[in-house]
Structure 1
Amino acid sequence: MRIAFLSAPEGVEQVELTEPWQAAKDAGHEPVLVSTQSGEIQGFNHLDKADTFPVDEVVGEASADSFGGLVLPGGVANPDFLRTDEKAVAFVKAFFDQGRPVAAICHAPWTLIEADVVRGRVLTSWPSLQTDLRNAGATWVDEQVKVCDHGNNVLVTSRKPDDLQAFSETYLAEFAKAGG
C-alpha cells in the first residue's frame, strides 16, 4: 500500500516522521513524502534542526485516491504551517471524504481541525490541543493511542513521541483492516 506522509517544509518532529515511516517500510508498504513544496523538508528534534528528507510529491499535484492511507506527523510548527495551506487541508479532507484511514500524532490534529473532520470523533493529541479539539466538536481523551471508527473511515491518534511504537503498530493494523 502507498501511504502518504504529509509534512510542511519545516517543523516536522523528525522521530514522528521517521519511526512510522520505517514501520510502514518494514511492513512492506510504500511510504511517500508529500509536502507543500518540492525539494526537501527540514526535520526537527523538538526545536533543534535535524535531518532533511527529499519530497516525493507536492500536495497540489498529489491525489488522495492514489494512497491507501495518510499519516500526519507532528511537531508544533508542522501542522501550524499545514493548516494555513488550502491544498494541504483539502488533501487531508479528501482522505475522510473517500473513507481512507488517517493517523495523526502529537500536534497533527490541528490540521484535522482545519479540515473540519474532528466533529463527533474521539481522539487524543498533545495535551495542549485538547481545548482546540473540544471547541471543534471532538471528544479528547488522554490515551497512548486512540482508534475512532466514525462513519466511513478510521482515525488513529496518539499523544507524543513516547507513544510511537503503539501508534505505528495500531495505524498499520487499522490501515490493513481498511483494505490496504
Structure 2
Amino acid sequence: MEKKRVLMVISQENFRDEELLHPSEVFRQKGFEVVVAAGEKKEALGSYGAKVTPDMTIDEAGKQSFDAVVIVGGNGSRIHLWGNQTLFNLVRAHHATGRPLGAICIAPVVLAQAGLLKGVDATMYKSADTSEEFAKHGVKTSEKDVVVSGSIVTGNGPAAARKFGAAVASLVEPEK
C-alpha cells in the first residue's frame, strides 16, 4: 500500500517550530510521508532556530496531489503566506477534493482569505489582525484549541500542535 502523503506549507522565515515539528512527528508515527513546501527551496528558519530545507516550492506542490495539506503558523506567515495567490490556488484545489486541510496559529487566515472558511467554525491564534481577518471573511470564531469542521482542521497555536496533528491524521486515516 502506498504511503499517505501530507504536505506541510511553511513560511521561508519565522515559521513556528513546534507547529511544523510536532504534527510532522504525529504524521510520521502514523507512517505518513511528510513533504515540506515554502516559497523557495532554500533553507527556511523557524522562530526558535529550527532549520528545514523544503522539498519543493508552493508552486510545485500545487501541481501534485496530497492526502492532506497543512499550513504552519508563526509570524512569518503574515509576510510569506497571507495574501499568497499561489497558496490560495493550492488550498482551493485541495479542498475541492474533500481531503483534509489544516491550518494552525495565524495560518487559518490563509484559508479565510482563500474563501474557504465563510460561515465555518474555526479557531486561530487570537490577535487584532487575525480577528479582523476572520470577521472580514465571515468566519465563525471558536475559542477551542482545535476545531474540526468537515474536512477542515484549525488549531489555535503551538500548545495545540500535537492535538492539531492528531486531528488531521484521524481524517487522513480514520481509526479502525
What TM-score, normalized by structure 1, do the two folds share? Answer: 0.87
- Does the alignment pair 1:164 with 2:167? no
Name 1:144's counterpart in structure 2.
Answer: 145
Matches of 1:102 and 1:2, distance apart in 2: 12
Give the AA of the match of 1:94.
Answer: A
Unaligned runs of 5+ in 2: none
User: Are the structure 2 counterparts of residues 77 and 4 from structure 1 closer, same or farther at C-alpha, using a change threshold of 3 Å?
Assistant: same
Q: How many residues align?
A: 169
- Shift in Å at residue 64 of structure 1? 6.1
Contact 2:62–2:89 (Cα < 8 Å) also in 1 = no
Residue 28 of structure 1 is matched in structure 2 by 31
CA distance in 2, matches of 1:120, 1:64: 29
SS of match in other structure, 1:60 = helix
**2:170 aligned residue:** 173
Counterpart contact for 2:124–2:155, Cα < 8 Å = yes
1:94 aligns with 2:97: no
Q: For 1:70, what is the secondary structure of its paired residue?
A: strand
| Alpha-carbon distance between aligned partners in 2 of 1:115 and 1:38, rounded to the nearest angstrom | 24
4+ aligned runs moved over 3 Å, structure 1: none
> Residues 126 and 64 from structure 1, CA distance in 2 versus in 1: closer, same or farther, beyond 3 angstroms?
farther
- List alignment gaps of at least 5 residues for structure 1: none
- DSSP 3-state at the match of 1:11: strand
Percent identity over the alignment is: 24
Structure 2 counterpart of 1:71: 70
Once the two structures are TM-superposed, the CA of residue 97 in structure 1 deviates from its matched residue by 2.1
Name the residue aligned to 1:18.
21
SS at structure 2 position matched to 1:71: strand
Q: C-alpha separation between the residues in 2 aligned to 1:68 and 1:79?
A: 25
Q: Secondary structure at the match of 1:163?
A: helix
Instruction: Look up the SS of the partner of 1:95 in the other structure.
Output: helix
Q: CA separation in 2, counterparts of 1:57 and 1:22?
A: 19
